[in-house]
Structure 1
Amino acid sequence: MSALIRPTPARPTPSEPGAARQKPDAAATAAPARAALVLAHSKAQILEQLRIPVAVISSTVFPTLALLFFVIPQESVTADPLASLTAIAQLALFGVMSSFLFNYGIGIAEERANPWSSYLRTLPVGPVPPTIARALPAMLFAFFALLPVLVIGALLTAAPEAFGDGGLSWWRVPLAVLVWLACGLPFLALGLFIGYLCTSKVAVAVTQVVFFPMAFAGGMMLPPAAFPYWLDVFSLILPSRAARDVSVFALSGEGLHAGSVLCLIVWTVLLGGLALWANRRDQGRHFR
């Protein structure tokens, strides 16, 4: 009888190796799970964009067409290496700004009216993975919009003469691409603010009304040197002018004002706060 009674094995104490294997580390599993969610949402966003190729092509080609139609015919600009670099930087930022502002301002407003997107927002995923997943495709398509601008600028303007013997280093080109994408962050936040605050029909009108005056006053269509004095002074407080000056400086090494970087940071924080407020406001109205 005593042979049938076996002693119960002792449970491992926290100091023993078995205790550490009883419960998986939550922090170790959370990061891969969140990365998988970001990749899944990003793939869905890219496929959704590719289902409407006209929108992708238009946003990608529009800055290049602006360069061909408005800059290349001006021999006084294309013959000057510095003026060519300035025009390329302005139109490159123009493409990034339009991609971020329209992708978020109109895209999020349309998703809010979509029952499937509303259902996704009720899932216990949190706002971070979907937001990052929307930012990655936007940056990807904005990057594709920058490539033809750089190629056309290198082939049809005197911009390459500014490098090498011209005094500038070639590392400024990849640096400028990164700076252009970073300078689009306040417009990304502005798009979020419009998308969460407006309906889909209103968002289209508001985005267009905000985009074109801000792009013009920021010096992306016309150099600030051609502005009247009052417009030049007024434009210095706009995020588009600050982003334009930083973008031009990244590529050409000139054109940066003393307060441009600070102005860009302040606008990014301010618009980011407004976007967060609009997101929470919309979340509270629909899911409480």
Structure 2
Amino acid sequence: MSSLAVTHARFQLLETIRIPIAVFGSAFFPSAAMLAFVVPFVGDNAEYATLATVSMITFSVMTTNLFQHGAGVAEDRAQPWDPYVRTLPAGAMPRFAGRILSGLCLMAVSLVPVVLIAAFFTEATVTPLAFLIAAGTTVVIAVPFILMGLAIGYSMPQKAAIVVAQVLFFPLAFLGGLMTGPGLAPGIVENIAPYLPTGGAARLMWAAVSDIPYDFRSIAALVGWTAVLGGGALWAYRRDEGRRFS
């Protein structure tokens, strides 16, 4: 199954790379936010700049996976190639795994500008160990957003999936506290954020690069969201398969 997953991932990456604007688009919003809000306002404060950078990384993880898997999967379902691949005997898991691998690769590309802006235009700083922990945490927090994108992509037509992804990303970012620093959001946001996937992801990232302790409410909520969204993605895939191939 691993070789099939790699083959699917390679195919997805080649399709995306052939349209360079798709790769550029996933990196644009977090990079623009870094230049517009982080660099001029907290760029000269090492602590705030570091926390803001990982918030933008979380934002990039969310948007990349929502659009790559949400809109991307819905678009693929409309192509003649998709029904043919679905008839092959390999099953769903290699395709799911391939999409996750390709999504992680594209996500890594979208994060490069954010990291470079933080390194050259702000006072953000991390130790080598904290950098490695943050890199591993980035992969972990990507999982629920990948599953969210898959659930959207397999349950909706292309036009609806794009709209839903666009509608979701800003409220999730704002209510998750990505637009402010730790403890600086409005009271209602501080109360809600730990229980949202964005808030839980941001708090894991903040803890990875600073002395902020891990919030176990957020960790539990993130695990719960991962399970729910994983179940939703699998249900959407089977529902789509039953409707189109039964």
Return the match for 1:84 from 38, 44, 49: 49
Answer with 218-227 or 267-276: which moved more. Answer: 218-227
Answer with 62-71 or 205-214: which moved more. Answer: 62-71
Count, aligned residues: 246
Return the match for 1:196 from 116, 133, 154: 154
2:31 matched to which residue of 1? Answer: 64
Larger Rg: 1
Mapped to 2, the partners of 1:65 and 1:87 lie a distance apart of 13
Question: What RMSD, in angstroms, separates the aligned Cα atoms of the two structures?
Answer: 1.5
With the length of structure 1 as denominator, give the TM-score of the two structures.
0.81
Mapped to 1, the partners of 2:145 and 2:40 lie a distance apart of 30
Dislocated runs of 4+, deviation >6 Å = none
2:185 matched to which residue of 1? Answer: 227
**Contact 2:175 / 2:189 at 8 angstroms: preserved in 1?**
yes
Deviation at residue 43 of structure 1 after TM alignment: 1.6
**What letter is aligned with 1:54?**
I
1:30-73 alpha-carbon deviations (Å, 9 max, x no partner): xxxx2332222122111100111001012124322211111111
**What letter is aligned with 2:17?**
L
Deviation at residue 255 of structure 1 after TM alignment: 5.7
Distance 1:208 1:224, change over 3 A: farther
Identity %: 38
2:4 matched to which residue of 1? Answer: 37
Mapped to 1, the partners of 2:103 and 2:150 lie a distance apart of 12
Structure possessing the higher relative contact order (Cα contacts under 8 Å, 6 or more residues apart): 2
Mapped to 2, the partners of 1:56 and 1:151 lie a distance apart of 17
1:245 matched to which residue of 2? Answer: 203
**Contact 2:103 / 2:146 at 8 angstroms: preserved in 1?**
no
**Contact 2:195 / 2:222 at 8 angstroms: preserved in 1?**
no
1:199-226 alpha-carbon deviations (Å, 9 max, x no partner): 1000010111111110111111233533
1:139 matched to which residue of 2? Answer: 104
1:248-268 alpha-carbon deviations (Å, 9 max, x no partner): 111223163231111111110
Deviation at residue 80 of structure 1 after TM alignment: 1.9
Mapped to 2, the partners of 1:60 and 1:78 lie a distance apart of 20
Mapped to 2, the partners of 1:153 and 1:179 lie a distance apart of 18
Mapped to 2, the partners of 1:51 and 1:265 lie a distance apart of 35
Is 1:256–2:221 an aligned residue pair?
A: no
1:210 matched to which residue of 2? Answer: 168
Answer with 88-97 or 141-150: which moved more. Answer: 141-150
Deviation at residue 235 of structure 1 after TM alignment: 2.0
Deviation at residue 287 of structure 1 after TM alignment: 1.1
1:132-167 alpha-carbon deviations (Å, 9 max, x no partner): 11111110111122222222212222223xx5xxxx
With the length of structure 2 as denominator, give the TM-score of the two structures.
0.95
